[in-house]
């Protein structure tokens, strides 16, 4: 069974070295290209790792064999834990692409912080099974911690007399941490670079996000606004936006073409050519027209406009995909080691049964596009046939429509959130359901429930909320929250680029 290994070290350097060398002796016999990776290393240990590389004839540079030195790690972790995990994940994945086997050797202490807990977190991010060097007397407590935190995944507790065959049987984990989820997204967007338009160049957060996106080279950006003003603002903020494309809706030569197109699209709704000419100078309409006319692949806006203002032009002009007449908004909720999708958190205040069924369908497509195998729960305050009421009837009706129109969906309901999420509750409340207890896509009965719930989970469980991603439109247009952070903008642009693939 092929698996990399996360060696959780003990406090004894001698014991750690003895075990590491034994492991390397074994693994280098089994695998042609072995690499060592220490996510965090004491400066004085760098030479020891170099010696191992030489002793076991491992063809890897010393610099490749570690991530952070302890001091840098502590500083980075305290300022930006996401960057800390991302850098380690990226370096590890780069090694994985080059070597057959990676021995991750990790810390037992992390300065003043608990190295044990952090090690579990790292192993879950890397999906590398843990072998922990643990004293016999501490093994029971270690087992309890691992059983709980690794949710039934395999690990080994070892000492100097470990059984190598046991380690060879360890399987890699399949956790989707928020960092891994984002890492995979970036990989997808880099594959096929798309053009994303950002209309709100007067917002500092948009400029900061643009710089990050330019640097990481994952998308091509178009900023809307006055080029001189954008340059001045970037200079003031110390940002390098060199090479970014800027279009100004106030005097763009495209306005004439866009006016004619907008007039064509909306004349049946009573729009005059004069009105169209005026509207295309509005940056949200101009951005929407760039996407509609295929000059851009996606638009991200809403840092300073309401959801309604941001998405109305898209609903009016870009319109829905064939077979869909209801746009909805999905959030990907990054919990500690899994990602769930919630919908519709953004668009339809009081959906009909038909709209709920469509929400389930397009959410399944979105989940798939972002790497999840969708298992859909239609949520309610009732599980199975336990409760009665108008809204339960609505969800039942939606389920019926979804099953009829989209027979390929893995879907069930109505069910309460605990029944959808938790296997033990599901076994009691809906024992015959193949979805209950395993759902990863949650369709809420209305906008109140969905919007309140995603924010409650985001704030109280400290979950990463990525979205909303509008689904069902012919081309991606995505809305930012007015309270968005630079990081949210970066994420939404990357998600939009993937939607456009």
Applying CB under 6 A, the residues found at the interface with ligand ACO are: 269, 307-308, 311-312, 315-316, 320, 326-327, 345-349, 451, 468, 481
- Residue 359: CB minimum distance to ligand ACO, A: 9
Give the nearer residue to ligand ACO in terms of CB position, either 305 or 380. 305
Give the nearer residue to ligand ACO in terms of CB position, either 234 or 357. 357
State the Cα–Cα distance between residues 479 and 496, nearest whole angstrom. 10
Give the nearer residue to ligand ACO in terms of CB position, either 126 or 327. 327
- Residue 248: CB minimum distance to ligand ACO, A: 27
Cβ atoms < 10 Å from Cβ of 18: 14
Give the nearer residue to ligand ACO in terms of CB position, either 86 or 320. 320
State the Cα–Cα distance between residues 330 and 346, nearest whole angstrom. 7
- Residue 224: CB minimum distance to ligand ACO, A: 21
State the Cα–Cα distance between residues 501 and 493, nearest whole angstrom. 13
- Residue 133: CB minimum distance to ligand ACO, A: 46
Are 432 and 323 within 8 A, CB to CB? no
The CA R_g of the chain, rounded to the nearest whole Å, is: 26
Give the nearer residue to ligand ACO in terms of CB position, either 252 or 446. 446
- Residue 297: CB minimum distance to ligand ACO, A: 20
- Residue 176: CB minimum distance to ligand ACO, A: 22
Give the nearer residue to ligand ACO in terms of CB position, either 142 or 315. 315
Question: Is the dihedral angle over the CA atoms 11, 17, 19, 23 positive or is it negative?
Answer: positive
Shortest-Cβ-distance residue relative to ligand ACO: 315
> Which residues are 363's β-sheet partners?
none
- Residue 477: CB minimum distance to ligand ACO, A: 12
Name residues whose C-beta falls within 8 Å of residue 183's C-beta, 6 or more positions apart in sequence: 86, 89, 90, 93
**Nearest-CA neighbor of 230 among 210, 251, 216?**
210
State the Cα–Cα distance between residues 454 and 330, nearest whole angstrom. 10
Give the nearer residue to ligand ACO in terms of CB position, either 234 or 289. 289
- Residue 203: CB minimum distance to ligand ACO, A: 17
Q: Please list, residue by residue across 129-152, b when 16 or more beta carbons sit within 10 angstroms of its beta carbon and e when fewer do.
A: bbbbbbeeeeeeebeeebeebbee
Q: State the DSSP code for 350.
A: S
- Residue 453: CB minimum distance to ligand ACO, A: 11
**Nearest-CA neighbor of 24 among 46, 48, 47, 57?**
57
Are 373 and 389 within 8 A, CB to CB? no
Question: Is the dihedral angle over the CA atoms 335, 336, 338, 339 positive or is it negative?
Answer: positive
DSSP for 421-470, written as a single string: H-HHHHHHH-TT-SSTTT--EEE-SSHHHHHHHHHHHHHHS--EEEEEEE
Give the nearer residue to ligand ACO in terms of CB position, either 88 or 470. 470
Give the nearer residue to ligand ACO in terms of CB position, either 17 or 458. 458
- Residue 59: CB minimum distance to ligand ACO, A: 50
Give the nearer residue to ligand ACO in terms of CB position, either 69 or 458. 458
Q: Please list, residue by residue across 84-119, b when 16 or more beta carbons sit within 10 angstroms of its beta carbon and e when fewer do.
A: bbbbbbebbeebbeebebbbbbbbbebeeeebbebb
């Amino acid at each position: 069974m092929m698996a990399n290994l996360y060696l959780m070290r003990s406090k004894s350097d001698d014991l750690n070295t003895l075990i590491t060398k034994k492991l390397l002796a074994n693994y280098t016999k089994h695998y042609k290209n072995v690499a060592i990776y220490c996510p965090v290393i004491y400066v004085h240990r760098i030479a020891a790792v170099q010696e191992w590389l030489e002793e076991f004839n491992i063809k890897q540079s010393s610099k490749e064999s570690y991530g952070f030195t302890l001091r840098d790690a502590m500083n980075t972790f305290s300022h930006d834990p996401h960057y800390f995990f991302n850098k380690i994940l990226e370096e590890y994945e780069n090694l994985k692409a080059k070597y057959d086997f990676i021995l991750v050797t990790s810390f037992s202490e992390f300065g003043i912080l608990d190295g044990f807990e952090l090690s579990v977190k790292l192993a879950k991010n890397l999906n590398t099974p843990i072998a922990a060097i643990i004293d016999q007397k501490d093994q029971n407590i270690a087992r309890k911690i691992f059983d709980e935190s690794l949710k039934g995944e395999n690990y080994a507790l070892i000492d100097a007399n470990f059984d190598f065959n046991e380690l060879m049987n360890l399987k890699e984990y399949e956790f989707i941490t928020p960092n891994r989820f984002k890492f995979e997204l970036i990989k997808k967007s880099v594959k096929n670079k798309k053009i994303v338009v950002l209309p709100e160049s007067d917002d500092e957060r948009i400029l900061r996000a643009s710089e990050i996106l330019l640097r990481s080279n994952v998308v091509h950006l178009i900023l809307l606004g006055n080029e001189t003003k954008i340059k001045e603002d970037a200079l003031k903020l110390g940002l390098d936006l060199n090479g970014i494309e800027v279009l100004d809706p106030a005097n763009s030569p495209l306005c004439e073409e866009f006016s004619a197109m907008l007039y064509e699209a909306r004349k049946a709704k009573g729009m005059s050519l004069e009105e169209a000419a005026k509207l295309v100078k509005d940056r949200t309409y101009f951005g929407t027209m760039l996407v509609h006319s295929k000059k851009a692949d996606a638009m991200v806006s809403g840092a300073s406009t309401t959801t309604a203002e941001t998405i109305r032009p898209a609903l009016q002009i870009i319109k829905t995909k064939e077979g869909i007449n209801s746009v909805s908004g999905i959030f990907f909720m990054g919990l500690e080691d899994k990602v769930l999708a919630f919908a519709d958190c953004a668009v339809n205040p009081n959906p009909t049964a038909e709209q709920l069924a469509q929400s389930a369908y397009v959410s399944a497509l979105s989940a798939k596009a972002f790497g999840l195998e969708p298992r859909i729960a239609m949520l309610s305050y009732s599980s199975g046939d336990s409760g009665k009421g108008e809204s339960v009837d609505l969800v039942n009706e939606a389920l019926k429509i979804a099953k009829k129109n989209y027979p390929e969906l893995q879907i069930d309901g109505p069910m309460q959130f605990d029944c959808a999420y938790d296997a033990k509750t599901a076994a009691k409340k809906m024992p015959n359901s193949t979805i209950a207890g395993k759902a990863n896509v949650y369709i809420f009965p209305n906008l109140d429930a969905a919007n309140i719930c995603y924010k409650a989970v985001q704030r109280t469980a400290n979950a990463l909320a990525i979205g909303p991603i509008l689904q069902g439109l012919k081309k991606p247009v995505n809305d930012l929250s007015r309270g968005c952070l630079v990081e949210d903008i970066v994420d939404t642009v990357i998600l939009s680029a993937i939607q456009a693939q």
